[in-house]
Amino acid sequence: MRLTSFPTRPQRRTGLARWLCSALALGGIALLSGCDLNFWRMDGPQSTIDVAGPVAHDQLEVFYVTCWVTFIIFVLVASVLAYATIKFRARTEADAHAEPPPQGHGNPLIELGLIGASVFALVVIAVPTLKAIWYTHDVPVADKGEAYQVNAISSQWWFRFEYPDEQIKGVGPLVTSNELVIPAGRPVHLNLRSMDVIHSFWVPRLAGKVDMIPNRANFLWLQADEPGYFWGQCAEFCGDSHAVMRFRVIALGPREFNEWLERQMAPARTVPVPQATASNHPKAQFASYRTDWKENEKGWSESFDLNPLESWRAKQFPDKNENPELIAKGRELFQSKTCFSCHVIRGHMVGGSAAYPDLTHVGARTTIAAGLLENTDEQLARWISHPDLVKPGNHMWSEGYVKNNIKLTPDDVAALVAYLHSLK
């Protein structure tokens, strides 16, 4: 029987060095030849590199400093390793079988030098880190007064935004859901609260993550340097649909922001029904929508991604082709199906709860289902018909449809879509 000889220690070192060099070379070739250029630009909608505000910019500087320090350490260690591997490798068969040289206990000066270099590297990282911590903690004062105040309240699985400075007579502060509209160029102070479990508020291009903890007040501030449309999401695992708990931040110039506030503080829009057809609601022309939706199917169009801010602006105005009879039918169904017991629609019906999204101006939002679906007729019909498939475990399904035995026909869905999209 032939015995297999195992490689000696110098041979094993040489083989490991060759394997590492080969792996690095192949990885570099693959990256340089096969990667999409978008990877190198890193300018996606949730990029932490393509920043658009002072807080995110400060945090990016800390990231760069850390990267440079660790890169220098990597180069030095890799260089020493490569030098030692090449210089002391086994060059002949005799070297491979020779006894290892006498072993020492190291050089005190080198060891102290390495300790000093490590401390220095930590100081280089710590200085900008501490500076960024203080900067992000102290809410600045805007040129025109204090930072703009917003209360961000998280629930499974959506976000509620309250504007305490914008009080509606007899109602309370202005409330929106899942789309936070802020003034561009002005600091915004966000008071973070949670209604149930731990969530985390994160708008990558504007600011880092801050936890929203039950029974504990927390805050962050952010600022968008220019008008824009920014993606955000919960960054702390919070249950079944954590991955689809998203929101949007829309930053507007002063005039456009004030116009938006004026529209939002008004009651829900009412579409008048012509007297000649006021009694013919059930005979309205119903649209037909898809019913074969699958779980995790994409919920937005490519055109929306091209310029989401312009898409948002287009949603602020009523559709010229809306159907008054169908809208009236949808309003009746919203009440008869007891949707008003959960959702607030100011000016149309009494009811609703702060535990559920306010729908007073839902037609003016670009997304639904907490930023998961584009707010089109088809996607809204999908959400109304199959909320359990779109967002498993959501309360609209378990506390609304199941408990109240709500059944919707395709015609019901079409009427509800028309009504909700009329609420600009």
Report the alpha-carbon distance of residue 377 to residue 184 in Å, rounded.
Answer: 30
Are 243 and 174 in contact, with CB atoms under 8 Å apart?
A: no
CA distances in angstroms from 33 to 21, 23, 25, 39, 192, listed in the order given: 18, 15, 12, 12, 45
Cα(329)–Cα(331) distance, integer angstroms: 5
Paired strand residues for 312: none
Q: Record the pTM.
A: 0.81
Tell me, what DSSP letter sits at residue 75?
Answer: H
Number of Cβ within a 10 Å radius of residue 23: 10
Predicted local distance difference test score (pLDDT) of residue 329: 93
- Residue 253 clears pLDDT 60, i.e. is over it: yes
Return the SS3 of 189.
strand
Note whether 42-89+108-265 and 275-421 share their fold. Answer: no
What values do phi and psi take at 207, rounded to 5? -170, 160
Interval 38-79: pLDDT, tens? 445 577 788 888 899 999 999 999 999 999 999 999 999 999
- φ/ψ of 55, rounded to 5, equals -65, -50
Going edge to edge, which strands form the sheet with 148-155?
172-177, 158-168, 148-155, 188-194, 218-222
Let me know: does 347 contact 268? Beta carbons within 8 Å: yes
CATH 2.170.120 is the classification of domain 275-421 = no
Q: Are 154 and 171 in contact (CB under 8 A)?
A: no
3-state class (DSSP) for residue 181: strand
Instruction: With beta carbons less than 8 A apart as the criterion, state whether 221 and 72 touch.
Output: no
Position 359 scores a pLDDT of 94
pLDDT recorded at residue 351:
81
Q: Give residue-wise pLDDT tens across range 104-158.
A: 777 888 889 889 999 999 999 999 999 999 999 988 876 556 889 999 999 999 9
Question: Which of 325, 343, 351 has its CA nearest to residue 411?
Answer: 325
Handedness of CA 383, 173, 182, 244 (dihedral sign): negative
Q: What is the arithmetic mean of pLDDT over 310-319?
A: 91
pLDDT in tens, 226-251: 999 999 999 999 988 898 899 999 99
192 bridge partner residues: 152, 218
Residue 106: per-residue pLDDT? 76
Using CA atoms, how far apart are residues 79 and 76, in angstroms rounded to an integer?
5
Which is nearest to 53 in space by CA: 253, 212, 187? 187
Look at residue 33 in the predicted model and tell me its pLDDT. Answer: 43
Least confident of 10-24, 145-159, 350-364: 10-24
* Average pLDDT of the residues in 328-357: 90
With a pLDDT cut of 90, the percent of the chain lying above it is: 54
Integer angstrom CA distances of residue 207 from 39, 277, 327: 21, 52, 40
Which run of H or E residues covers position 179?
A: strand 179-183
User: Residue 399: its pLDDT value, please?
Assistant: 81
- 297 has a pLDDT exceeding 90: no
Residue 275, SS3 per DSSP: helix
* Residue 366 pLDDT grade (very low, low, confident, very high; cuts 50, 70, 90): very high
What long-range pairs does 26-29 form, CB within 8 A, spacing at least 24?
A: none
Domain boundaries, the chain: 10-41, 42-89+108-265, 275-421
pLDDT at 283: 53
Residues 179 and 181: their CA atoms lie apart, in Å, by 6
Helix (H) or strand (E) holding 107: none
| 42-89+108-265, CATH topology level | Immunoglobulin-like (2.60.40)
Q: What is the DSSP string of 2-54?
A: PPPPPPPHHHHHHHHHHHHHHHHHHHHHHHHHHS-HHHHHT-STT-SSS--SH
